[in-house]
Amino acid sequence: MNKLSVYILKRYLLLLVGLSIMAFGVAFSIKASLGTSPISSVPYVVSLFTSLTVGTATITMHCVFILLQILILRKNYHPIQLMQLPVAFFFGYLTDFGVWAVQGIHCDTYWQQWLVCLVGILLVAVGVSFEVKAGVIVLAGEGVVLAICKVFPQIKFGYMKVGFDVTLVIIACILSLSFTGQLQGVREGTVAAALLVGMLAKQLGKLLSKWELEKE
């Protein structure tokens, strides 16, 4: 195996590690019952009124996001981005595994719920920082944001990401109220995740910047 192949392999392995950590972060957030992160809010709510698990609902949503990217970019869509599909399946099934793995954790008090929620937020932030460090394939949700920014370059990524997350939360609220009759999956933990994940990932990214994946 040549040096370039090893270098690329390292980056994809780092991506898989990041996705694994992120998936467990989502599982902890679900277990806390204080609301999931914005990107997971829709799959979680869908899992409440359908036969889909959170993981399979996540895969379905990511497939929709990939289709949206193709429709937005059209001939400018790069086929390499189809790698988001196997990444979506990996992340979705691992999320289901994470939900199963943490089922033995019990949150009997509100502070325990917050403790588990904060663990979930931290794990998602670590996973995001690893994903960014890998620099190979982004998750389909971020891919949609990047696609929109490419078509409308005057819109900054940060602003579009916030708008995208808010849209997902609104959709989750509408679905929850329409199909379950009550607001589920969106609570104070959702707000905490929206505020903290990006900030923590940014700080972790600074630490990871000192670690270089050399082309040995």
DSSP 93: H
Is residue 132 pLDDT above 60, yes or no?
A: yes
Give the pLDDT score at 8.
82
Pull the structure tokens for residue 114: 């917050």
pLDDT, one tens digit per residue, over 97-125 is 999 999 999 888 999 999 999 999 999 99
CA proximity to 168, closest of 149, 140, 147, 196: 140
Residue 129's region, left for phi above 0, alpha for psi from -120 to 50, else beta, is alpha
DSSP 74: G
The set of residues, in sequence order, having a beta carbon less than 8 Å from that of 83 and lying 6+ positions away, is 136, 137
The percentage of residues in the chain with a pLDDT greater than 90, rounded to a whole number, is 57
Average per-residue pLDDT in the chain? 90
The residue-averaged pLDDT of 65-87 equals 91
Give the pLDDT score at 27.
95
d(CA 161, CA 166): 9
Residue 205 binned pLDDT confidence (cut-offs 50, 70, 90): confident
Contact 88, 63 (CB under 8 A): yes
d(CA 122, CA 25): 7
- The residues spanned by each domain of the chain are 3-208
d(CA 116, CA 137): 29
The percentage of residues in the chain with a pLDDT greater than 70, rounded to a whole number, is 96
d(CA 27, CA 101): 8
Residue 1 binned pLDDT confidence (cut-offs 50, 70, 90): low
Residue 78 binned pLDDT confidence (cut-offs 50, 70, 90): confident
Token match 């994946």: residue? Answer: 213
pLDDT, one tens digit per residue, over 153-188 is 888 887 888 889 999 999 999 999 999 999 998 999
The residue-averaged pLDDT of 10-27 equals 92
For 129, half-sphere exposure in the C-beta direction (CA atoms, 13 angstrom radius) is: 23
Residue 214 binned pLDDT confidence (cut-offs 50, 70, 90): low
Helices 157-179, 188-208: inter-axial angle, 10-degree rounding: 150
Residue 208 binned pLDDT confidence (cut-offs 50, 70, 90): confident
The pTM score is 0.89
Token match 């999931």: residue? Answer: 36
Long-range contacts of range 72-79, CB-CB < 8 Å, 24 or more positions apart?
Answer: 72/144, 72/147, 72/148, 72/151, 73/147, 73/150, 73/151, 76/150, 77/147
Please tell me which residue, 44 or 211, carries the higher pLDDT value. Answer: 44
